[in-house]
Amino acid sequence: MRNAFIEALAEEARRDPRVVLMTGDLGFGVFEPFMRELGPQFVNAGVAEQNMTGMAAGMALAGKCVFTYSIANFPVLRPLEQIRNDVAYHHADVRIVAVGGGMSYGSLGPSHHATEDLAMMRAIPELLVVAPGDPVETRLAVRALVRHRGPAYLRLGRAGEPLVHTSEPPFELGRAITVREGSDVTLISTGGQLRDTVAAADVLAGEDGVSARVLSMHTVKPLDEEAVLAAARETGAVFTIEEHSVIGGLGGAVAEVLMEADERPQHFRRIGLRGGFTSVTGDQEFLRAHYGLDTAGILQTVRSVLAEA
């Protein structure tokens, strides 16, 4: 996703001189071509995420469309006050970009895990929250965010994520992508969990005879309430899958919609991290497996819930 992000942003920056990329002193391995070609539209703010966010707000209020970039939770937790008061309160055209969402930086431990960010960003007024599912969605999200007016948060994986989409699907901020149709259950994924979610749906169809609808909920705020309610009405079970705490993220957002609409499927389950910081060490794939977020873990949860019927 990281490479798809910078390639798409460079394309937009060539067309639109308002576009500025600001980094917290990292990412140079992929940023060098952007720096060479579009130097005046690149700023290294140093290891100072709070200053970076404040500078971005000022530039945006002067007419720029600024993308701030750092890893994991650093562009979220350190400058949270600046995001709320400088960016969101002033409805500034700043896009806070976090690379390494979830446990992408697995072996570096909880200090480098972004597992509460969706909840925090959802709670800030005016802020759009976007977590694309693969490199194709990442490119489409960047294009859409350049045209969007107002602040946004863009949560990316790290690098090397596989393509899920073989072609560009219809993409609109706030509208889920139906990756596959299904009538028995619905699997709603956000961010880098899309690959494992689709793989689980394939196994359910082939081994269990379960028709699974898959929704890529690339925009967590505003949520596609229509797609969520349709899933509850048309399928017997709804599962949300996210590499994030089950508190306040995608699962919480979906639950809020279902409860307030008084629309409940026979089964509903949030698949995500449940309490506490990660207590084991390993890379992202190892940690996903440990916490039941890989294909096998998703299947185990879905099968156990369906067996309760």
Residue 91: name the closest of 134, 62, 126, 51 by CA: 126
- Report the half-sphere exposure of 125 (CA within 13 A, side-chain side): 5
Provide the CATH number for the domain around residue 257. Answer: 3.40.50.920
Q: Which of residues 156, 187, 208 is at a domain's end?
A: 156
Asked if residues 220 and 249 have their Cβ atoms less than 8 Å apart, the reply is: yes
Q: CA of 116: how far to CAs of 22, 30, 119, 274, in Å? A: 23, 26, 6, 11
Provide the CATH number for the domain around residue 75. Answer: 3.40.50.970
Asked if residue 43 and residue 146 are part of one domain, the reply reads yes
Confidence check: pLDDT of 291 > 80: yes
Residue spans of beta strands (DSSP E) within 181-309: 185-189, 212-216, 219-221, 237-245, 267-273
> H or E stretch including 258?
helix 250-260
- At position 228, the amino acid (one-letter code) is V
Domain that holds residue 112: 2-156
Q: How far is residue 123's CA from residue 116's CA, in Å, rounded to a whole number?
A: 11
Residues labelled catalytic: 49
Rounding to the nearest 10 degrees, give the CA dihedral for residues 287, 48, 121, 86.
180
Asked if residue 199 and residue 293 are part of one domain, the reply reads yes
Confidence check: pLDDT of 304 > 70: yes
Q: How far is residue 232's CA from residue 210's CA, in Å, rounded to a whole number?
A: 16
Asked if residue 190 and residue 84 are part of one domain, the reply reads no
Mean pLDDT of the residues in the chain: 96
Lowest mean pLDDT: which of 5-9, 23-27, 172-176, 190-194? 23-27
Could you report the per-residue pLDDT of 241-281, keeping only the tens digit for each? 999 999 999 999 999 999 999 998 999 999 999 988 888 99
Structure tokens that stand for 228 in this block: 């969520």
Asked if residue 193 and residue 76 are part of one domain, the reply reads no
Asked if residue 197 and residue 113 are part of one domain, the reply reads no
Asked if residue 152 and residue 246 are part of one domain, the reply reads no
Q: Which of residues 156, 191, 218 is at a domain's end?
A: 156
Burial 163-177 (b: 16+ CB within 10 A, else e): ebbeeeeebebbebb
Count of structural domains within the chain: 2
What mean pLDDT is predicted for residues 139-166? 94
Phi, psi of 68 (to 5 degrees): -95, 145
Asked if residue 253 and residue 302 are part of one domain, the reply reads yes
Asked if residue 104 and residue 207 are part of one domain, the reply reads no
> Is 37 inside a domain boundary?
yes
Could you report the per-residue pLDDT of 97-110, keeping only the tens digit for each? 999 999 999 999 99
Q: Give the model's pLDDT for residue 309.
A: 66
